[in-house]
Amino acid sequence: MSVSSTPPRRLLTVTGLLAASAMVLSACGGSDSGAAPPAGDAQQGGPAAVTVTLANEGGTDSCKPDKDSVPAGPVTFTVTNTSAAGITEVELLKDQRIVGEKENLAPGLAPVSFTATLDGGAYQLYCPGAGTDHVPFTVTGQAAAPPSGSTQQILAQGSKEYAGYVSGQIDQLATGAAALNTAVQSGNVEQSRTAYAKARTYYEHAESSVEGFVLPGFSAEDNAGNLDYLIDMRSSTPVDDKVGWSGFHAIERDLWKAKKITPQTKKYAADLVTNVGKLKSVVGSLSYKPEDLANGAADLLEEVQNSKITGEEEEFSHIDLVDFAGNVEGAQQAYASLRPGLVKIDANLVQTIDKQFESVLSMLDTYRDPSAPGGFKVYTPQLRASDAKKLTAAIQPLHDSLAAIAQKVV
């Protein structure tokens, strides 16, 4: 199956792959089965070992690696959460790019690990919810060679690599949709709510890449072939009587408003699996220009302003902050793929955007709630009334900076 070769205006593709390096992991969940490595791997010539402990110390959650520096080469990070209820994930970052990640790190669970081959340079361990959420980490030794070629060649390479992330996110969306369908078919409302929130994150990472996809044989005006309509139509959107309403938000309405699963809910869930499968079949063949990535990153933050902060996106579940965080992470990974080329064009803008992302992510951390579906506070009308202006003020400068990139990379 294929789509038009011309990307839509708001197209965004995202990558968790690192350029010309073996330091690639799955962008969500790490690179292995999650089991901690056998003791002594590093001593036997295996990867260097770093133990990251999450704990509550004096009422504040902390994230502490047992060392802050390792030599370049393969490194295994083993994460143990002893008592930090406010921290549920750990990411390894370099230049805004997610190198490795582990999620669902509830206190008391068995240690989990991920392994990456790291070049020398400055990294950060990002532990959302910790008192110090960005922990500096240094890799000594040989640094990666700087990207070669002209600025446009570097940007083109980043755009090419970037296409891998959206494919990876849609793969995980397909897995999430299948898990949601299984929970819905079982009739378990609470399990279905949890599965719904998890699946939403993957969609929000790549949301701008979905808008505008029309399947072959359908016109742009025919919602029967519009994947965004079929997967993510909100209750505020007028229903096409010929196509009806299905997708995520029809399921959301039943799970939170009706608080029950009906035969129609089960059909919605099964149809979602089918339509996400159609989306998965098309994304792998698409290619993008640097300006597509730049526009998409800015557009994801427009989505935050226009439908997440307003509470329009998740009208029934109120998990808008889960979607908010997903859009921000998607924009961050889009920017990360342009960053090597953008450094050559406007290094001052890169410094500004790096700081703005860190500020927005730190602000989002204050809304985390591990007990809530998706790991963020429920965005109630009361919270929206008190905090919408604060959230807008935080996201606007980053949006404005990202919006300036397209004219620089085109």
Q: How confident is the model at residue 31 (pLDDT cuts 50, 70, 90)?
A: very low
Q: What six digits make up the tokens of 294?
A: 């730049």
Residue 52: strand, helix, or coil? strand
- 53 CB-near residues (< 8 Å, 6+ apart): 62, 63, 64, 65, 66, 80, 81, 82
Q: How confident is the model at residue 37 (pLDDT cuts 50, 70, 90)?
A: very low
pLDDT surpasses 70 at 213: yes
Q: What six digits make up the tokens of 1?
A: 């199956």
Chain position carrying tokens 């072939």: 225
The pLDDT, as a whole number, for residue 370 is 85
* Cβ count within 10 A of residue 400: 12
pLDDT > 70: percent of the chain: 88
Task: Give per-residue pLDDT as tens, 107-135.
Answer: 999 999 999 999 999 999 999 989 999 99
Q: Single out the residue of 98, 95, 6, 86 nearest to residue 54, CA to CA.
A: 86
List beta partners, residue 94. 97
Average pLDDT, whole number, for the chain? 87
Which is it for the CA torsion 324, 313, 13, 164, positive or negative?
positive
| Residue 44, φ and ψ in degrees, nearest 5 | -95, 20
Domains of the chain (ranges; CATH) run 42-140 (2.60.40.420), 151-409 (1.20.1420.20)
Distance from CA of residue 386 to its chain's centroid?
26
Which is it for the CA torsion 33, 38, 41, 44, positive or negative?
negative
Q: How confident is the model at residue 197 (pLDDT cuts 50, 70, 90)?
A: very high
Q: What six digits make up the tokens of 102?
A: 């582990």
With vertex at residue 291, the alpha carbon angle to CA 288 and CA 296, rounded to the nearest 5 degrees, is: 80
pLDDT surpasses 50 at 287: yes
Q: How confident is the model at residue 54 (pLDDT cuts 50, 70, 90)?
A: very high
Q: How confident is the model at residue 163 (pLDDT cuts 50, 70, 90)?
A: confident
Find which of 101-115, 211-225, 281-295, 393-407 is predicted with most confidence, using mean pLDDT: 393-407
What is the CB-side half-sphere exposure of residue 238 using CA atoms within 13 A?
3
- 297 CB-near residues (< 8 Å, 6+ apart): 12, 330, 331, 334, 335, 338, 402, 405
The pLDDT, as a whole number, for residue 15 is 32
The pLDDT, as a whole number, for residue 18 is 33
CB 192 within 8 A of CB 177: no
Which is it for the CA torsion 169, 171, 173, 175, positive or negative?
negative
Q: How confident is the model at residue 69 (pLDDT cuts 50, 70, 90)?
A: very high
Q: Single out the residue of 30, 15, 170, 21 nearest to residue 97, CA to CA.
A: 15
Distance from CA of residue 364 to its chain's centroid?
14
